[in-house]
Each structure stands twice: as C-alpha cells, then as structure tokens.
Chain A
Amino acid sequence: MKIYRPRFTQHRQAGVALLIAIFVLLLVSVAAMAMVISSGTDAALAGNYRASTGSYYAAVAGLEEVRGRLSSKDPNYFGAAIPNPVPLNTICYLTNPANGETVDPKTSGSTYGDTQYAHEFSAAPVVNAYINSVWNGATPGPLYKWARVNAVTEQSLNIDVNQDSVYNNTIPLYYDGTRFNLTNTGAQVLEITSLAALPGGTQRLVQYTIAAGLPLIASFPSALTLDGPTPAYGTPHSNNYRINGADRQGPSGAGTCGSALQPTQPAIGVVNAADGGSSGTVAGQLFRPDHYTGTGSPPSVVDVSGSGTNTLPASMQTVTGLEQLAQSFSTLPGVITLTDASGTGTGPCTSAPSSWGTTGSPVTIYAHCALDMSSASPGYGTLVVTGTLSAGGNFGWRGIILGIGQGAMAMNGGGSGEFDGAIVLAKTRNASGALLSTPGTPSISWSGGGGNGLYYDSCWITSALANTVSGGYPILSFRELGQ
C-alpha cells in the first residue's frame, strides 16, 4: 500500500501570512488615505478663502500706491513721470515684480499682460516708461503686479456723462468737485487699474476713478450770504459801514493776486425770493440801504438760491449738506480746532486760537463753540464757527467765514478793521445744539459798525480756499473688473 503524504503542505501555507499582511496593510492604507484626502480638502478650502481675500487687498494696494504717489506731498511723488494732464491714449504703468520676475503689461501674451485696456479703448496707447513700485522687487510687499494710470472718456467708462446719447471718445473727462464734465472744468479724471496675482494663480483686477482734490467750496455768490428764511439783520448805524459786492481784489486794489477781476456779486445773498429785493425782508431792516452795493440797485439784496451761475450750491441749502461741509473743514490738515466745555458747539470756546494767521500764512480755524474774535485784528484764512461769532473793538478778517450751526454774529463796534472776502451764515442747529430739519433763521446783530464793513474779495477768498483743498486724490468710484 502506498501512502501519500502531504509533501507540499508547508509549501501551500507558505505566503498566507504575507497575503494577510498585505490585505491588512491595504485596509489601513485606504483608511489613512481617506483621512488624508479629508484633511487635504480642508486645507485647500482654507487656502482658497485666504487667496480670495488676499488678492483683493493686494490689488487695492496697487491702487492706493498710485493714488498716494500722485500727491506732491508724497515722498515718492511721481512728479513728471506721469504728465499732468494725462493725454488721452497715453498710459503709465507702475510695475511691481517679485524678485527675479518679469512684469511686462504692455506686451500682450506676456505673463501679466494688460488685456483690459483694449476693452475700454480702441486706439493703441502710447506707453510711458515703466515706473518702479516702492517695493521694487527687493522688499516683500503686496502682490500686485502692475497698476495703470490713464485718462478716461465717456466711451471708455461706457457712461454717457452729459446724456447727449453720444459716447464721446476724444474728450477727456474732468471733475468739478461735484460731477464729471466734458468741459475741462475742475480736475482731470484719472483711472487707476491694478492687477494682483498670487503664487497659487488667483488674480484680481480692480479699478478706481480719481481726481485731484478741489477746494471745499468752489465760489461764493455774494459778499454776505444769509442762508435761511427771513434773516434777522440787526443793522449797523455807522456812516462808514458798508457791504460791497464788487471784487475788491485785496487792500491794494485790483489785480493784487494775479487773477482776473471777478464779476460783481450781490452785497447780501438770501435764499428766499421774499427776503430779497428792495422791498424784501432784509432790505426792510437796513439802516442805510444805499450802503449795500453790488449787483442791481442798492440795496443789493438778491435771492441766490436758484440754479445757474452765481448761486449758492444746492448742497449748501440743506442742513445735511451744510453740516457735512462744516465737518469737512474740521478734518483738514493743520486745522486749528476749538471746542466748548459742553461739547454741544454752542458754549464759549475754552481757549483762543493759537494763531489768527498772517498774510502769507493764512489759517483754518474750526471753532466747535461760540467764538470771540475781538483779538483778530485782522485774522487771515478760513473761520468756521458752530456757535455765535462775536467781537468788539478793532477786529476784522481776510478770507472766508462760515457760521454754520447757530448761524449768528453779534458784533459791537468795529474800529477801523474790515472783512475782506465772503461770509455765509446758516442756522442748522437749535440753541441746544440739536439738528434742525431745515435751515433756520440766520441772524446778525451789529451795534455801531465803526469803520468796519464787508467787501467781497476774490483774492482773499482764493487765498483762504487754497488751504481747504481736501488733499490727495479723492476716490470718485470703485469697481472690480472681470477677467
């Protein structure tokens, strides 16, 4: 009998452990991979979120660098590198390559080529030499690649600015402080476009329109503007007291500031028809009506609330607009700020201004209080007062005075001083300092008058307003562009 032994039993079992080990390893690997994939997705999502936000701020950084360096006060001012005004179809690039990187936006097809310009303009541009960013590839900075500066037209913005149904592409747009125009009025509108690109590939393209800052007030419609209904005019009785709307052009006569003589204005401007004219509310309160000269026959009291030239801007006929204007002065660089103890802006100022200014160095004073200007003999520049403005003795002012708040002046005498420039009085708050819904009654109380008076003077107005340019290049609009 032949006995068969399982000669190969050990050989059959050999390798089973290996198979089991491989199988278990496979299972563990699958589990591990699942966890890795899960955490990987998590990390990717967080990364995307960071990239999205980071690219936005990087692009805005490009806009802000250009906006800052356009200002002559910036230590890295562009100067002549960007012409003023910027001709149409001329573009300037600020480039910001990373270390060793080439950024060549004017070359289409390059890594960061500017394809956006062609969407706005049909003509090929003249490209000025590239300007380096302040980071200049050496210092790690924001990750924008380039920023472009150019003039704009109706067609490039795709906006029919003057609503004539024509999208003009040959006239650069300007900004008059309130609105765009095609008449070269004010400052040129510039467009800044900035491209940011992060290492992961996220890109963002954003755009500003900006214009150089303009004075906070473009012009004054009269020597004295009583900006509210039924003004109370406590008339001076001095024979020497006058208000004259003819442009005085400085104490030495016409042409002293090198600008053209301005058209004669009304002596007193009002904002209601019933308050103007020789039989109006104000004229009825004047002691010597013939001493109020300007446009029209004396007394020159004219309604300046309408539209067109020589009128008070609509924004200066509302409480909101007037308050915003007064607030704008309070934030100007170098402004001298005075306050009262209560904080309401109606009590006496707790201190006197550090300076009333000089001919060559006019000041801007924002008095959130009732101010006594007796020691201004005279003062120079811009004076904004929220409380009652008072004075006695030998006082005067050369520049502009805005009484916005109580809209009140209480003067005593006047000596030999005088006011040269323009004054606006508007009552926007009640006696407690609370806002009114509409402008209230402005008031002047003037005992005597001395040799004082008010003379419209474009030189002193210009001198004062030069200090009120809001500085830099205000943003007129912002948008993000698709790519």
Chain B
Amino acid sequence: MEMLVAVAIFMVIAGAAFGLLSNTQRRYRSDSQILTAFQQERLAVDQIVRDINDSGYPPANHFSVATPPGNLYAITPLAWTPGYPAACTIGGTCTTPGGFDMIIETDYDGTGVKWIRYQLVGTTLNRGVTPKVAGADPGAATSAAGVMVPYVTNVVNNAPAATINQIRTYYPSMFPGAVAQPIFQYACDTAGGPQLCPGAGANNSPVNVRDVEITLIVQTPQNDAQTQAPHLVELSGRGHRINPNK
C-alpha cells in the first residue's frame, strides 16, 4: 500500500516535472529560433555598417593624375545603376541604390576596389562581392552568376501586404503606414547638413550619400506556440561614410 502511494505521488510529481520540461523545451526551441535570427541579423548589420564606413577607399585624391584608371580608385562611396558613372537621383532615376538594394565601392583588403552589393530578393538578403571593372555597370557586374549569395533569410522588410497586415495585428507599431519598411535609407550631404536624399534637391545623388540607416526585420520560421503571434526581430544600425567623394 505504501509503495502504491509512493508510486502515485511519484507519477504526479514526475508528470508535473515532465510537463514543465516539455513546456520549457518548446520555449527553448522558440527562443533558439529568435536567437538564431538575432545572431544572423546582428552579423549582417555589423558587416553592412563596416562596409559603409569603409566605402569610398581609396578616393581619387590619392592619385596625382587627373584620371587614374577607374578600377584603381572609388569614384564614389556608393555605386549605382543605371547610367553609372553618370549620376542618378535616389528615389528617382536610380534603380540602385534603393530601399532594398545597395552597392558599395571600396577596397577593404588592399587587393583592389570592389563592388559589394546587398540586395533583397523575396525574403532573402543576398550579398555579393566582385572586383570593380572600369566602364562596367555595377548592377550588371554584381548580377553575374555566382556573385550574389544568400546572406540573411526570412527578411520580411518587403513582405506582401497581407503578411504586413497580419504582423501589425500583433505589433501595431511595426511597418508604419502598413507599407514595406526599407532596409536602406540614405542621407545626402547638403549645405545645411545631411538630409534624406529624396529631399536633398540638387544634392540628391549617390555621390553625396553620407549616412545609411539600416533597418532589418527577420521573422522566425515558427510562430509563438501559445499565442501564434509571429516572432520578429528588428535591428537597426547606421553606416557613416568618412572617405571623401572626390
């Protein structure tokens, strides 16, 4: 009889313990996904910021000749398409740079100037690096096969309207205006200090970009087990171009 009571008590306690453990495991799995997303984003934002900080090296002022070969120096911290190197306007005639696409021009390792592109395709942020080629179009060069590789997955900055609305039912402050959230926003140098490029008038050009605000939103593969709310991780950063643009 005592044994039966002991076993019964054991079963109850063990059941409660396993229930707690199971709940903890579900929570752990869920949190792991958030942490993975956070980790991915943190590395990505950190790398993008570094690339922007380094952009424009070496500038044209490092050469005594007026027109050194175009692949030896960075004409501009940010490259663009179409029409490169004839300037375009951000939010206007530029296809790149845009809210989900950016090409940085720099020599980050002393082996020559390169184009580094970040481009959101669907829900995958791709990154690609290719040597700068004088006279070539940066957009075309970085679009060559094998250049762009997946960098961050499940990026929802440019999600369909239905997804954005679903997210906003749980997190009303996200996606202001219920529209896509640009990953990259650009501030151009003006006489009165940096301004968002589309409002910078004659200074609206990739050549004059001084700061790039980065906002990356990643959704985890699974929703919350209890509430079914989507798990989202949003990280922000700012890259500041130091190198001159001439």
Interface set of A (CB-CB < 8 Å, partner B): 13, 16-17, 20, 23-24, 27-28, 30-31, 34-35, 38, 41-42, 45, 48-49, 52-53, 56, 157-163, 175, 178-183, 209, 320, 323, 327, 330, 435, 475-480, 482
Within 8 Å of chain A (Cβ to Cβ): is B80? no
A-B contact pairs, 6 of them (CB 8 A): A20-B10, A38-B28, A158-B110, A161-B62, A475-B242, A479-B54
Known: A17-B6, A31-B21, A159-B58. A45 touches B243 (CB 8 A): no
**Contact of B53 with A480 in the complex, beta carbons under 8 Å:** yes
A353 to chain B, nearest CB (A): 21
Within 8 Å of chain A (Cβ to Cβ): is B149? no
**Contact of A48 with B42 in the complex, beta carbons under 8 Å:** yes
Within 8 Å of chain A (Cβ to Cβ): is B31? yes
**Contact of B17 with A28 in the complex, beta carbons under 8 Å:** yes
Across-interface contacts of B86 in A (CB, < 8 A): none
Q: Please, which residue of chain A has its CB at the minimum distance from the CB of B237?
A: A53
Within 8 Å of chain A (Cβ to Cβ): is B144? no
Across-interface contacts of A42 in B (CB, < 8 A): 31, 35
B241 to chain A, nearest CB (A): 9
B220 to chain A, nearest CB (A): 14
Q: Please, which residue of chain B has its CB at the minimum distance from the CB of A41?
A: B35
**Contact of A49 with B61 in the complex, beta carbons under 8 Å:** no
Q: Give the complex CA separation of A16 and B7 in angstroms.
A: 9
Across-interface contacts of B59 in A (CB, < 8 A): 476-477
Instruction: Say which residue of B39, B109, B244 sits within 8 Å of A45 (CB atoms).
Output: B39
Within 8 Å of chain A (Cβ to Cβ): is B65? yes
Within 8 Å of chain A (Cβ to Cβ): is B9? yes
**Contact of B61 with A476 in the complex, beta carbons under 8 Å:** yes
Residues of A contacting B: mostly: helix
Across-interface contacts of A178 in B (CB, < 8 A): 61
Across-interface contacts of B46 in A (CB, < 8 A): 49, 52-53
Q: Give the complex CA separation of A320 and B32 in angstroms.
A: 53
Q: Give the complex CA separation of A227 and B40 in angstroms.
A: 55
Across-interface contacts of B191 in A (CB, < 8 A): 323, 327, 330
Across chains A and B, which 10 residue pairs bring their CB atoms closest together, nearest first? A478-B242, A27-B17, A181-B64, A31-B24, A162-B64, A479-B57, A20-B10, A163-B65, A31-B21, A327-B191
**Contact of B62 with A180 in the complex, beta carbons under 8 Å:** yes
Across-interface contacts of A31 in B (CB, < 8 A): 17, 20-21, 24
Across-interface contacts of B69 in A (CB, < 8 A): 163
Across-interface contacts of B100 in A (CB, < 8 A): none
Interface set of B (CB-CB < 8 Å, partner A): 2-3, 6, 9-10, 13-14, 17-18, 20-21, 24-25, 27-28, 31-32, 35, 38-39, 42, 46, 50, 53-54, 56-65, 68-69, 72, 106-110, 191, 202, 242-244
**Contact of B64 with A161 in the complex, beta carbons under 8 Å:** yes
Known: A35-B24, A161-B63, A327-B191. A478 touches B54 (CB 8 A): yes
Q: Give the complex CA separation of A175 and B244 in angstroms.
A: 14
Q: Please, which residue of chain B has its CB at the minimum distance from the CB of A49?
A: B42
**Contact of A38 with B31 in the complex, beta carbons under 8 Å:** yes
Q: Please, which residue of chain A has its CB at the minimum distance from the CB of B32?
A: A38
Across-interface contacts of A327 in B (CB, < 8 A): 191
Q: Please, which residue of chain B has its CB at the minimum distance from the CB of A12?
A: B3
- Extra 17 A-B pairs, beta carbons < 8 Å, given A477-B57, A480-B108: A16-B3, A17-B6, A27-B17, A31-B21, A34-B24, A34-B28, A35-B24, A38-B28, A52-B46, A159-B58, A159-B72, A160-B72, A163-B63, A163-B64, A180-B61, A183-B64, A478-B242
**Contact of B2 with A13 in the complex, beta carbons under 8 Å:** yes
Q: Please, which residue of chain A has its CB at the minimum distance from the CB of B73?
A: A159
Q: Give the complex CA separation of A48 and B54 in angstroms.
A: 21
A469 to chain B, nearest CB (A): 18
Q: Give the complex CA separation of A162 and B25 in angstroms.
A: 65
A45 to chain B, nearest CB (A): 6
A20 to chain B, nearest CB (A): 5
